[in-house]
Structure 1
Amino acid sequence: MAGRKQRQFVKPASAPNSEINVTPLVDVVLVLLIIFMVVTPLMEKDILVRVPDTEVEQEPTPPDPNDQQLVVQLDKDGGYSINTEKIQPADYVNRLKRMLAAKKPDEKIVFFMADDAANYGRLIVALDGAKSAGAKVLGMATELPQNAVIQGTQVDTGTAAPAPAPAP
């Protein structure tokens, strides 16, 4: 025990201070406030946005379905119809080529309506056949146009028939 030193405790002269010194905190906050005040105006950058002029346009009336509009229907058995006229698959491209040859280049539009149970491969063959016949725009129709004529009888499909969207 002789080699060991005894610890000596020093009694503090005053009681420990449990209050936070706020002076450095206020200094840091003021410096940050000055930095943000200087940097904020530099961050504002104008972004040029060109907004189109708003004009009230009348909605164009949908064209009446007539013989000028080519609608190819594909039934579930794989048969083709052009404007409700049954066509043999072998005559499909030649018949469509003759019909498209009588049209102006910007009017060579063909719409397709396929039965839900139709073979997808047959639809692709019909689309490819229309392109090879000279169609410039192919469109998919999901519903019959309003006041459509099918096999000599007029069909009323309601007032809100959406127009088919052409697909290039």
Structure 2
Amino acid sequence: MSSRTKKFVIRPSSVMNSDINVTPLVDVVLVLLIIFMVVTPLLEKDIAVRVPDTEKVETTQEVPKDQLLVRVLTDGNLRLNTGEAEFPVTREDLVAKLKEQLDRRRREEDKVVFVVAEDGANYGGVVSILDVSKGAGASVLGMMTEAPEEDSKDGAAPAPPPAPAP
């Protein structure tokens, strides 16, 4: 044979692989999973609250005549103060009573509902009352607190409540 008749055959060095390599995909997914596991507890779930500036405020014991006030008691009962009278109301009737009172007010600035919750009241119940009040047409919701009772005039802390009897 002469050198001109030689045939050169080019062969691939390895066989073609048509399988998908999932190792990088698994690595990326695991890194994302770890990131989300670390970040999730740091996320805060809040209710937007506008806190007033601190100032000396005169204490008043009476509610203004036209102020709507919903009291959430420790036992879950509700009382509605319409300015004329304070009376017990059920959760089912609260929407209708608030809507009736708020519809009488023409200006949006006048559609204000204050909620007062006792210390032992259920937090979820208070939030649901805020939601119901907004749904009844209140444009502004307010939270009221009761001033702590002053047992002594000398600035000493009040005595702790008595322990329950066994």
Q: Give the TM-score of the pair, scaled to structure 1.
A: 0.46
Pick the structure with greater CA Rg.
1
